Amino acid sequence: MKVLVTGGAGFIASHIVDALIDRGDDVVVVDNLCEGKRENVNPRARLYQIGIGDPGLAEVFDRERPDIVDHHAAQINLRKSVEQPLFDAEQNILGSLNVIANSVRCGVQKLVYSSSGGAIYGEPQYIPVDEKHPVNPVSQYGVSKYCVEHYIELYSRQNDMDYTVLRYANVYGPRQNPFGEAGVVAIFARQMMKGERPSIFGPGDKTRDYMHVSDVVAVNLLAIERGSRLICNIGIGVETTDQQIYDAVAGALGYTQTAIYTEVRPGEIQRICLDCGLAQRELGWKAQVPLERGIADTVAYFKEKGI
């Protein structure tokens, strides 16, 4: 089938593009290359350098007529969403609306959407967080990701387009941006390799649910065929502290310096991990890569790249 992947030059989606091509799909990548890298794009994919909010996206859909859209393009900087909420809404809400509307117009069979299990629930009332947990985002980024879920559901009801929404935990792995605001594994690895002392926001006890990018690839391939009109969490279901991540990356690199501890950032929750039982039941998916092995794989990648 033909699959259009938005954000396909980025960290997560470029791995999905590789897997789709490896299984024989015809893949189209839409990416403005503001965050994504051209070198991440599989040479067997067709790249359109265009933003998802650009009116010219309609021409791409008209020319390619994809069967499936896997929508990953987004503004992912949580701090920027708090400081520049209009920019965040422009990219994540209006841009996504452009993708959804063109998908409907061109008869796309199914839309797979990457949402956020870490940002939309807010500070958890219980852990692990399942899909029945109240949604109460504490950042503009969380609001924008959840808003798009509603638009997808609405357009699906009105136009009979199928969808699966995947609410990701924190994803790490090769190709993650080590210079960004998000992606603590990559950021720590780069700074330690340069002999710098990484910063931890707060005392190091903030928790997240971390999963390797290969597990995300696997669930996206499954979601193309399964999980009709499903919204589900995607993670490991284990709380891991910032300090544990720091220690794991330091251990993989043989780094011995301590972190610098700074103030907690606004808009960040302090604890979360996800209950992913629904994804296991409906998609037949469960994360396979343990944290220690995943971090070793990621560190080896950055060593090889000399980053």
| Architecture in CATH of 2-172+209-236+280-288 | 3-Layer(aba) Sandwich (3.40)
- Report DSSP letters for 3-26, one per residue: EEEETTTSHHHHHHHHHHHHTT-E
pLDDT at 284: 98
| Architecture in CATH of 184-206+239-273+292-305 | Alpha-Beta Complex (3.90)
Q: What share of the chain is helix, strand, coil (3-state, %, to 5)?
A: 40, 20, 40
Residue showing tokens 């990018």: 213
User: Degrees (nearest 5) of the Cα angle 226, 230, 232?
Assistant: 105
Across the chain, mean pLDDT equals 95
Question: Is 113 labeled as catalytic in the residue annotation?
Answer: no
Average pLDDT (115-121) is 92
Residue type, 185: V
Of these residues, 121, 141, 172, 255, which one is catalytic?
A: 141
Cα radius of gyration (the chain):
19
Percentage of the chain with pLDDT > 70? Answer: 99
pLDDT at 85: 86
Q: What is the Cα–Cα distance from 83 to 64, expressed in whole angstroms? A: 37
Q: Which of 75, 5, 70 is nearest to 35 (CA)?
A: 75
Domain locations along the chain = 2-172+209-236+280-288, 184-206+239-273+292-305
pLDDT in tens, 179-219: 877 789 999 999 999 999 999 999 999 999 999 999 999 99
Confidence of residue 283 (pLDDT cuts 50, 70, 90): very high
Note whether 2-172+209-236+280-288 and 184-206+239-273+292-305 share their fold. Answer: no
Confidence of residue 265 (pLDDT cuts 50, 70, 90): confident
- 3-class SS at 295? helix
Q: What is the Cα–Cα distance from 282 to 232, expressed in whole angstroms? A: 9
